Amino acid sequence: MQLKSKLTGIESGSVLVVMLNYLDAAEMGIHSTDRVKVSFNNREAICVVDISKTWVGKGSIGLYKEVEEALSIKTGDPANVSPAEAPRSLEFITKKMNGARLNKQEMFTIVKDTVDRKLSDIELTAFVSSLHFNGLSMDETVALSASMAETGKTLGIKGKMILDKHSLGGVPGDKTTMLVVPIIAAAGYKIPKTSSRAITSPAGTADRVECLCPVTLSVDEILRTVEKTNGCLAWGGAVDLAPADDMFIQVEYPLSIDPLLLPSVMSKKKAAGSTHVVIDMPTGRGSKLKTIGEAQSLAKNFIELGKNMGIIVNCVLTFGEQPIGYGVGPALEAREALSTISNISSSPDLVEKAVSVAGVLLEMAGEKNGKDLAYKLLKSGSAERKLRQIIGEQGGDSKIKPSDIEVGSHVAEIKSKTSGTIWWIANHDIVKISREAGTPKDRGAGVLFRKKIGDTVKNGEVIMEVYAEDDRKLHNAIRLAESLNPVGVYAKMKDRMFIEKVPDGENHKKFFVLER
């Protein structure tokens, strides 16, 4: 059927979509969500059909931006439209929905069609849901991870050993990466680190680093930075490694499900060319992994998946029941990271975590006494010099001082209403308060702790400060803090960051890890 083109000018944002008038659709026996082949001037596109009653009249076809570009077509041009088959991957999606296992080729077809934007939201959701409900075998996980890596760019860093670290996240204030990358790079190993921005947290590593220097680097800029400094601290969103991941996340996000956790992490590492990866698993109440048992079982999966993908993986379970260090929010965290690496101030748990994680990675690379080496590189100023070199290479001011980083000018104190010891800090409440104060968008907003778990406080003593960039947000954050109960003051505890390394510790010290 020949139809007259009518351009919407609008990006559909996902799959290629055309709109048919309901009469034309009926004549072709086509329903909403069916496929049609649209061709013009020797170009053709397979598109998903939307049915229109008013905007597209009989004899016309509405084309979204992506279709317009695929066909180089203008309003009024004649488009040839005929029914087309649904993409092959739909068959494999329904196969998975019905409980079958998919082989490598089937998995690859689904991922390829996802990246090529051939699947509708309904079909993508059905795939992600089927993984949520039916689970993934190790073979499927390997196939999915490899397919996700193969269908995007690769970094192509030269060198036999490429190190990396990844955190499963979930703990506010975790600026560990900003110390680990310079330590590893200072030790002479390559670590091309890409990080994400905050979605539901107060700050992602990319947000933190952006307070020091630009993070939106191209692949070439990453290669040049790593070539010169051994490391980088770039925003992953700019380089499009394993792009299928972002499309799956679009579906997972509104549903609060995460069946692709393992392929999501490991496909990006594969695309980055990593050979040795340490995975930080914050564990305990208030973090994503509630128990050591859960974390260990996930750790084993990561290690096995790595083995199948040719990547050596070690996992580190870390204490995740309170914020790391004192600052929460992009600028407050950047300040703390810079002043800790510069040995100006001390955040003992941050240092302990950074040298523990870096130490494991250094030992994976063949060093002995990794933690000691990491600590030496930090204390000697080597790590600071390396960070400044990276900052300069990424286009920032390599002489930046912590006080140069601007934080919110509207500040209020939150005081203890009793005397005693801080026994717990509720991560989720700290996240809520920080976001109410303006993070991650307001870089200077956030929370700065004066006391942490195990510290004693007197009645009326300041536990934390809230920072904001305007008064209204500060007011809202304070009011929220008062309605919540973010800090528990009762008796006494020690600080203890490192729980165990997998695969090492068999005798689990289940040190005050509570089930929620």
User: Whole-number minimum distance, CB 204 to a copy of itself, in Å?
Assistant: 13
Helix axes 471-483, 427-437, angle to 10 degrees: 160
Residue 196: both structure tokens together: 């994400």
CA 512 – CA 287 distance, rounded (Å): 14
Place of tokens 């990424």: 394
Q: Is 258 a catalytic residue?
A: yes
User: Who contacts 31 (Cβ-Cβ below 8 Å, separation ≥6)?
Assistant: 25, 49, 51
Q: Computed over its alpha carbons, how large is the radius of gyration of the chain?
A: 26
Distance CA 488, CA 356 (A): 28
Of 258, 349, 455, 504, the active-site residue reads 258
Q: How far is the CB of 69 from a copy of itself (least distance, A)?
A: 11
- Closest Cα partner for 451 from 484, 481, 480, 413? 413
Q: Which is nearer to a copy of itself, 130 or 151 (CB)?
A: 130
User: 66, 146, 69: which is closest to 103 by C-alpha?
Assistant: 146
Instruction: Indicate the residue among 250 and 421 with the shorter CB distance to a copy of itself.
Output: 250
| Smallest distance from a copy of itself to CB 74, Å | 17
CA distance 307 to 305: 5
Residue in this structure with the two tokens 């490991």, named with its chain if needed = 266
Q: What is the DSSP letter of 289?
A: B
Q: In this structure, are residues 357 and 176 in contact, taking their beta carbons and an 8 Å threshold?
A: yes
Tell me whether residue 259 or residue 359 sits nearer to a copy of itself (CB atom): 259
Give whichever of 129 and 141 is closer to a copy of itself, judged by the CB atom: 129
CA distance linking residue 72 with residue 70, whole number of Å = 6
For a copy of itself, which is the closer residue by CB, 94 or 343? 94
To the nearest whole angstrom, how small is the minimum distance from the Cβ of residue 119 to a copy of itself? Answer: 10
Name the residue nearer to a copy of itself (CB basis): 27 or 495: 27
Residues of this chain that bind a copy of itself (CB under 8 A): 8-11, 13, 19, 26-29, 31-34, 50-55, 62, 65, 86, 90, 93-94, 97, 120-126, 129-130, 132-134, 199, 250-251, 253-257, 435, 440-441
Phi, psi at 31, each rounded to 5°: -110, 160
In 151-200, which residue ranges form alpha helices assigned H by DSSP?
177-186
Alpha helices in 211-291 (DSSP H): 219-229, 244-255, 261-272
Quote the least distance from Cβ 33 to a copy of itself, whole Å. 4
**Shorter beta-carbon distance to a copy of itself: residue 252 or 280:** 252
Q: How far is the CB of 99 from a copy of itself (least distance, A)?
A: 9
Closest separation between CB of residue 129 and a copy of itself, Å? 4
State how far the Cα of 498 lies from the Cα of 193, in Å rounded to an integer: 22
- Residue 18 φ/ψ region, left for φ over 0, alpha for ψ in the -120 to 50 degree band, beta for the rest: beta
Rounded to a whole number of angstroms, the distance between the first and last alpha carbons of the chain is: 61
Of 32 and 342, the one with the shorter C-beta distance to a copy of itself is: 32
Backbone φ, ψ for residue 187 (5° rounding)? -80, -5
- Kindly report the backbone phi and psi dihedral angles of residue 409, in degrees, each rounded to the nearest multiple of 5, phi listed first: -90, -10
Q: Please, what is the minimum distance in Å from the beta carbon of residue 460 to a copy of itself?
A: 34
Return the ∠ at Cα 284 (arms to 281 and 286), rounded to 5°: 105
Active site (catalytic) residues: 258
